[in-house]
Amino acid sequence: MEDFFETVAGHRGGYILRPDLLDLGVDDRQIRDAIRQKLIVRLRPGTYAPRGHRDLKPEDQHRLLAFAVQDKLPSGIVLSHQTAAVIHTGVSHGLDLGTVHVTRRGGMTARNEAKVVHHGGVLPDEDIVEVDGHLMVVPARAALETAAVAGTEAGLVQTSFVLRNGVSADELHERLGRMGRWPGATKVRLSVLWASPECESVGEARSLYMFRMGGLPVPRFQVEYFDADGCSLGRVDFAWEDYWHLGEFDGLSKYGRLNPYSGADLGQVVVDEKRREDGLRRLGLGMSRWVWADLHSPVATCRRIRAAMEQSRRLYGNVPRTVLV
């Protein structure tokens, strides 16, 4: 039976509609039984996905939900706001993945229904792009719409990622200038002004937001240091060179499922990181580290980093350094 649902879903790009099952002789009682047996997952009324849906990343689950929603709506409706942003960037910090956002071409009255938010407003043709057969707003507009609805931090993550993916800062600023009196325009403005394409992860983008809100100087990103023999001691996430201090956000990419040892030897990762940090300290540089949980306490974390920066400047202020971007 599991193979049957997978086959039916394959014809629609990963999801199943109730009429599909009824046409194939599966009645509502059998659909309820399949949900209870966890053979299928209910996405929204009358829309389901095979059990493998649970194994997808949250962003991929949202993508599937969005496509299923759009396919049941009238033509002329495009995916927008955080829904389009998640599809374009693959990241979803601060966003509600249980709700799909859409906009009708030519404008409409805003309204909500089950798991769908309909936005009004004019949507010109040049703001629309097709992805995997589905129409949605272009990455730059999606990022700005996200900031307007979800706030500056979530918007900063999205604007940083679209910049990293090739959208120009000029385009973001030009679009910002055209937003006029959009609701949430102040949040959008900050997300554009503070964004950086040098953020390589959500954690780094959130760290940048924390620095801005906490009054810390904006550091240089992704700076590589060398020893006296010209051998690389490694690249660091952040460098406050006026303070002789470095910063590292330690996330899953370093210690979790994406570590260079494929999860087989986390101890080796920790040992290598300790050696790298010791080498950098021998150059006369201090270092602060923080993890995801520290981003939830930004005031305390910034206070700790600030104190460490001041200490590094006192201890290492006259030590020469060799740096390569």
pLDDT tens track for 63-87: 999 999 999 898 889 999 999 999 9
227's tokens: 């020893």
Residue 316 confidence (pLDDT): 87
Q: Are 254 and 230 in contact (CB under 8 A)?
A: no
| 209 in a structural domain | no
The overall longest dimension of the chain from CA atoms, in Å, is 80
φ, ψ of residue 298 in degrees (nearest 5): -65, -35
| 210 in a structural domain | no
Structural domain containing residue 11: 2-53
Residue 324 confidence (pLDDT): 47
Same domain, 159 and 107: yes
How confident is the model over 157-211, as pLDDT tens digits?
999 999 999 999 999 999 998 887 777 788 899 999 999 999 999 999 999 999 9
Q: Which amino acid is at 231?
A: C
Q: Say which DSSP state 16 is in.
A: E
24's tokens: 């194939």
Closest CA to 244 of 149, 126, 323: 323
Positions in the chain short of pLDDT 50? 252-263, 266, 324-325
Closest CA to 39 of 50, 55, 54, 25: 50
Three-state DSSP class for 315? helix
Last residue of a domain, one of 162, 197, 232: 197
| 208 in a structural domain | no
Number of structural domains (the chain) is 3
Same domain, 164 and 87: yes
Alpha carbons 313 and 307: distance in angstroms, whole number: 10
Same domain, 101 and 167: yes
Same domain, 79 and 29: no
Same domain, 286 and 188: no
Number of Cβ within a 10 Å radius of residue 100: 26
